[in-house]
Chain A
Amino acid sequence: MATYQYFIDYFNEAPSLIKLAWVTICILFTAIVILTIYLKLIRTALRKKNTESAKFKAEYEATLIEYLYSGSENGDINDLQIATIEKLKTSVHIKSKRKIIISILYNLMNEVSGEMSDSIKTLYFKTGLYNYALSRLENKNWYIIAKGIGELTRFKIEEAHDLVVPFIKHPRHEVRKETQLYMVNMFRFNGLTFLNDLKEPLSEWAQVQLLETLQKFDDQQICDIKPWLKSTNNSVVLFALKLAKIYNQFETKDTLMELLSHPIKEIRVKVIRVLTNLYGIEAKEMLKANFNELSLEEQISFFGLLEKLVVPSDEPFIEKHLFHKNFEIQLLALKILKSINLDKFMGLSKSPKNKSNKKILKFVTNI
């Protein structure tokens, strides 16, 4: 009792600053104790949740394997499978369990093909998971919709086509991208029809994802890409140019030629690359003939391609542009000349006429 009184007296007699320090210490100490207990409770709850998840996962994995191997050869669902479906049906109503079931099904769907994959898809429908994915499409939050479409894509649910298609014009690009990926994953090149009337820009990342998806398929029979090359949406034109190059669309030559006069410089430069890739020498001659009508970027791009496709007969053309006003063209022309006629290039280096270009000539000589 006397000890407590001593502390109270000490506190009352202490200066205000010391009092404040003691009060702060007490508050912080209490906060630390409360937070430590809170942390401990959270950790315990998380551990419990993880243990339960692991338990459910092990249980559902075994149930799923049992379902997959108890099927009859003619594909009919037997009593054991019906019992499994009913068991899973009761669990999918609980969000945490539903998440576990979806992750198990998806993990396996990625790893196995053929009949097993079809059985997993059937299970996805029969357990009601399909309806949950569809209900996500009706959610007012864009990220829930995007997740729903992503799930339908992963489980290859073609049946949801009519319900997913309207999202192709969704104001959020994340939802549009998921819808585009759904279309291409389900219907391959036919799924690209959304490009016909796409008004919003198709981002570079979305283009890469679409191309990656298309390359996964064995059937590489591409549809007619000419309408996309003529699109008023520049990103669609750029994407179609990538398709033309990757899938060697030789029949698009005339459309590509028309694109050489496209108002967007980036498109014109890309067209030159595609033309050279598809038609090689033929395209080179054509672009050489129209060289003076090309913009500077296009001329640089053309010289870049000429470097790869040059033949000795191009020498007069190269010579004409040896000391072009643009440095990049000048450098490329000198490099090309060196590669096709070393004697002439060395002659240039030694000529007193070219004193002003001494540095660039020396640089190209040393390459």
Chain B
Amino acid sequence: MSKNKIVLAEDNSTLSLLLKFRLEKEGYDLFIAKDGREAIDLIEKETPDLILTDIMMPFVSGLEVISHLRLKLDLDTPIIVFSSAGQEEMVIKAFNLGANDFMGKPFSPNELIIRVKRLLN
């Protein structure tokens, strides 16, 4: 059985590495993008089963990634958005654009795994 593919768009390299370790341990194939532009390239190339994206990223924001996926590529891949304190309005915009779930930072990686499993099942 092939592994589920996940694209993670996150500019904090330590968090990316931590989540990669955790998600790969759970049996997922993880593709890391350090900004929105790389995320869009990876999404187009790998057609993942789930996308994890931070809202604030260099070059292309998480909102633009969601917008590109839903409006341009017309894909309904589940998206989990990471947001920091004070980005509540951004989260609402993300949901309006088609995000499926969100997690406020700081978050527990264990909780993220539960949410990922729920969306992929």
* Chain B residues within 8 Å of chain A by Cβ, number: 16
Cβ of A342: which chain B residues have Cβ within 8 Å of it? none
Given contact pairs A62-B17, A111-B14, A111-B107, a sample of 7 additional A-B residue pairs in the complex whose CB atoms are under 8 Å apart: A65-B14, A108-B14, A111-B12, A111-B15, A111-B105, A112-B109, A113-B108
* Chain A residues within 8 Å of chain B by Cβ, number: 21
What is the predominant secondary structure among interface residues of chain A facing chain B? helix
Given contacts A110-B105, A113-B107, contact A69 B22 (CB under 8 A): yes
28 pairs of residues in contact across A and B, judged by CB atoms under 8 Å: A57-B13, A58-B13, A61-B13, A61-B14, A65-B14, A65-B18, A65-B21, A69-B22, A107-B12, A107-B14, A108-B15, A109-B106, A110-B106, A111-B12, A111-B14, A111-B15, A111-B105, A111-B107, A112-B18, A112-B108, A113-B107, A113-B108, A114-B110, A115-B110, A116-B108, A116-B109, A117-B106, A216-B85
Chain B interface residues (CB < 8 Å from chain A): 12-15, 17-18, 21-22, 25, 85, 105-110
Per the bound structure, the CA–CA distance linking A69 and B20 in Å amounts to 12
Cβ of A57: which chain B residues have Cβ within 8 Å of it? 13
Given contacts A61-B13, A61-B14, A216-B85, contact A112 B107 (CB under 8 A): yes
Cβ of A133: which chain B residues have Cβ within 8 Å of it? none
Per the bound structure, the CA–CA distance linking A65 and B20 in Å amounts to 10
Cβ of B105: which chain A residues have Cβ within 8 Å of it? 110-111
Chain A interface residues (CB < 8 Å from chain B): 57-58, 61-62, 64-65, 68-69, 104, 107-117, 216
CB pair B14–A104 under 8 Å, yes or no, is yes
Can you name the residue of chain A whose Cβ is closest to the Cβ of B10?
A111
Cβ of A107: which chain B residues have Cβ within 8 Å of it? 12, 14-15
Q: Which one of B18, B25, B106 contacts A68 once the chains associate, using CB atoms below 8 Å? A: B18
CB pair A112–B13 under 8 Å, yes or no, is no
Cβ of B13: which chain A residues have Cβ within 8 Å of it? 57-58, 61
What is the predominant secondary structure among interface residues of chain B facing chain A? helix
Cβ of B106: which chain A residues have Cβ within 8 Å of it? 109-113, 117
Per the bound structure, the CA–CA distance linking A112 and B21 in Å amounts to 14
Per the bound structure, the CA–CA distance linking A112 and B110 in Å amounts to 10
Cβ of B109: which chain A residues have Cβ within 8 Å of it? 112, 116
**Closest chain B CB from A344 CB (angstroms):** 43
Per the bound structure, the CA–CA distance linking A62 and B14 in Å amounts to 8
Cβ of A61: which chain B residues have Cβ within 8 Å of it? 13-14, 17
Cβ of B17: which chain A residues have Cβ within 8 Å of it? 61-62, 65
Per the bound structure, the CA–CA distance linking A265 and B25 in Å amounts to 64
Cβ of B85: which chain A residues have Cβ within 8 Å of it? 216
**Closest chain A CB from B7 CB (angstroms):** 18
Can you name the residue of chain A whose Cβ is closest to the Cβ of B21?
A65
CB pair A64–B14 under 8 Å, yes or no, is yes
Cβ of B110: which chain A residues have Cβ within 8 Å of it? 114-115
Can you name the residue of chain A whose Cβ is closest to the Cβ of B25?
A69
Per the bound structure, the CA–CA distance linking A153 and B17 in Å amounts to 25
Per the bound structure, the CA–CA distance linking A216 and B22 in Å amounts to 28
**Closest chain B CB from A13 CB (angstroms):** 63
